Structure 1
Amino acid sequence: MLINCAAYQDGRKLGDIEVEDISIYVEKPECFVWVALKDPEPAELDKMKEEFGLHELAVEDVRHGHQRPKIEEYGESLFAVMHTIEMNDDGELSVGEMDVFVGPNYVLSVRTRTLHGFQEVRARCEREPQLLKQGAAFVLYALIDHVVDNYLPVLDRLGAEIDDVEDRIFERHNLAASRQIIEDLYSLKRRLVMMQHHVAPLVEAVGKLTGGRIPAICEGMQAYFRDVYDHMDRVVRIIDGRREMIVTAIQVNLGMISLAENEVTKRLGSFAALFAVPTMIAGIYGMNFQSIPELHLQYGYHVCLAVMLGIDIVLFWRFRKAGWL
């Protein structure tokens, strides 16, 4: 589906144009065309390939989709693949794809499997005609910057979930609750690993536009791409930090479970000792021997009960003092 098709000159929008007129404006050195597509049909891609003269391999990548984030150079043009990451109400991540063709006089952006639009990027560029004069390279920068900025709200929500789970770790709970905490932590770790898988490759790709041999189309834009590279590096560092927090939280939760089990073991051991002493004494005097000491005393039974009770009181006091009961 065609979202936008507009021509620009000297940083200002000339107006929307027909797809059939794209090649006319592309041939004008002072103009560039910016086209946006969403989930295009094969026929639409073929038409764009014809109008812009796109490289066949890059078009095939768009047709097949699910490409690794990258920036490739085809002659005087660039082909960039970025992944968008969105979080639904259930906290699950959905990954979309943004493919961008950049030439000296054109920008073609193709987004698939994502509901998030890029109208904000177009509006931002049109509000800054001095920067839009840079042409297609500035649009590429603005698109990458927008994609990277949208990673941060997702990381913030994941960070809030981590904080919530960490608070639950130190609450008194049963084994089922502890198991649920571990499952939640692994779910968070899985989503962060998923984010890193889709974000990290683009860092290396954008790094190629910040220094050394850079494509001719990006000349003079190194500072802007360095800025977005710094943003991406920050995102990757946040992801690494969150993953370390989760690993630590899992270890702490397992430690809390061990402490709880130790507490249960100490309680059981204490109660077993309280019952063991009377059982031992009763067992001794239950033997069928004639010469057991004090066996025939008139108050032997009461003395035996008093000794059992006294020993248990002393043991209970010591266990309570030690914190076992």
Structure 2
Amino acid sequence: MPRALARLVEGLTRPAPHVPEQRRSNPGAVVDCAVYQGGDRRPGSLHFADAARTARRRRGSFVWLGLHEPDERTMAAVAQAFGLHELTAEQATTGGHRPGAEIVGEVTRLVLRTARYVEHEELTADSEVVDTGDVTVLVGENFVITVRHGAAGALRAVRAQLEARPQLLAEGPWAVAHAVCDRMVDLYLEVAAEVERDLEHVEETVFAPGRRMDIAHIYQLKRELVEFKRAVLPLGEPLQRLLDRGVVPVALHPYLVDVRGRLVRAVDRVAAFDDLLNSILQARLAQVSVDQNNDMRKIASWAAIAAAQTGIAGVYGMNFATMPELGWKYGYYVVLAVMALTAVLLHRRFKKVGWL
């Protein structure tokens, strides 16, 4: 056989070189993508489509795909790789959803609101005390997808802590869902502690003698508290629904019950904050009303003093031909003395009754 023909036959029969799956890069919205088996993370970084196929082939494994504000194109590719319903993918693309839980086919969609406290030197009407966002958790048989919107609620620490607990991670995708819920509730309690500190400062300022706080600051804090309350209060019902429907593995029930219990504490604290802030607001409004009454009293007192002088000067400015004391050489000085004495007596009287 000629040498050239032999090389051609060898090239046709030689197996194709293996192209590693890691060479295909993930979109920029992908924060992390990993395959877990038996509670351990498999080495390497896979494209989410390759990771989905790997999890389907390997029994007892699942994919955790973390996304941050994905666009429609990326979410459509994720939906195709994991078999998500198009409406589920569309809802995950946009943020601002209310906390809730629903089951679409074999996928459970859990929505939680994220929250973080924004440090500030001084409370102003334009400052943002509580920054909120949302995270959507899509749980399937062999995958869990977390889609986060907003700066609050980063999940890198959640992944690291969960990877350090392989026994819990071995429970599958719902272990991730529990860890995300646990992290969100922890954030609620942290934010509640910071808001309580702010409320104590506002309360001290409002009721301290000689100190006044701009009422716009209190309204701003109340607005932030309303937003925080919308994140915390509605979550209890979805968590209870997941426990009642039996979609959560039995081994994870105690963990989710613990999360629900701490959520109740957060809800109670937020409700107490709302009542306290309403009391502070009513007290500040009462102070404003009292201050306005005091100002009106002062204005009325000075107006009465000026009116007495105006009345005396008006009488002697009538230009009648015959008036008492017009020909008296001390009349001018006596009138000035009467005007000054009237002003002093009125001022002392108003001062005594607390109008000045």
The answer (yes or no) to whether the contact 1:4–1:16 under 8 Å persists in 2 is: no
**Partner of residue 88, structure 2:** 58
Aligned pairs, number: 317
The answer (yes or no) to whether the contact 1:99–1:110 under 8 Å persists in 2 is: yes
Q: Distance in 1 between matches of 2:310 and 2:152?
A: 73
Q: Does 1:245 align with 2:282?
A: no
**For residues 199-278 of structure 1, what are the structure 2 equivalents within 5 Å?**
199-210=232-243, 212-215=244-247, 217-264=248-295
**Partner of residue 168, structure 2:** 131
The answer (yes or no) to whether the contact 2:51–2:63 under 8 Å persists in 1 is: no
**Partner of residue 216, structure 2:** 183
Structure 1 residues 129 and 321: CA distance shift in structure 2, 3 A: same
Structure 1 residues 318 and 82: CA distance shift in structure 2, 3 A: same
**Partner of residue 68, structure 1:** 98
**Partner of residue 77, structure 1:** 107
**Partner of residue 78, structure 2:** 48
The answer (yes or no) to whether the contact 1:96–1:112 under 8 Å persists in 2 is: yes
* Amino acid across the alignment from 1:40: P
* Superimposed CA distance per residue, residues 173-225 of structure 1 (whole angstroms, 9 cap, x where no aligned partner): 6xxx66xx221111111111122223322221112123x3322x433322211
**For residues 100-179 of structure 1, what are the structure 2 equivalents within 5 Å?**
100-114=137-151, 116-169=153-206, 170-172=208-210
Q: Percent identity?
A: 31
Q: 2:58 aligns with which of 28, 33, 38?
A: 28
* Amino acid across the alignment from 2:198: E
Structure 1 residues 224 and 314: CA distance shift in structure 2, 3 A: same
Structure 1 residues 274 and 123: CA distance shift in structure 2, 3 A: same
Q: Distance in 1 between matches of 2:69 and 2:344?
A: 78
Structure 1 residues 124 and 320: CA distance shift in structure 2, 3 A: same
**Partner of residue 5, structure 1:** 33
**Partner of residue 301, structure 1:** none
Give the root-mean-square deviation of aligned CA atoms.
3.8
Q: Distance in 2 between matches of 1:47 and 1:277?
A: 86
1:171, distance to aligned residue in structure 2 (A): 4.3
1:102, distance to aligned residue in structure 2 (A): 0.9
Q: Distance in 2 between matches of 1:68 and 1:280?
A: 69
* Amino acid across the alignment from 1:207: Q
* Amino acid across the alignment from 1:6: A
Q: Distance in 2 between matches of 1:261 and 1:203?
A: 45
Q: What TM-score, normalized by structure 2, do the two folds share? A: 0.71
* Superimposed CA distance per residue, residues 235-280 of structure 1 (whole angstroms, 9 cap, x where no aligned partner): 2222222221221111111222233344445566777888999999
1:324, distance to aligned residue in structure 2 (A): 5.5
* Amino acid across the alignment from 1:214: G
* 3-state DSSP of counterpart to 1:82: strand
For structure 1, the residue ranges without an aligned partner over 5 or more in a row are 289-304
Q: Distance in 2 between matches of 1:213 and 1:253?
A: 48
Q: Distance in 2 between matches of 1:282 and 1:137?
A: 90
* Amino acid across the alignment from 1:183: A
Q: Distance in 2 between matches of 1:132 and 1:6?
A: 13
Q: Distance in 2 between matches of 1:24 and 1:278?
A: 97
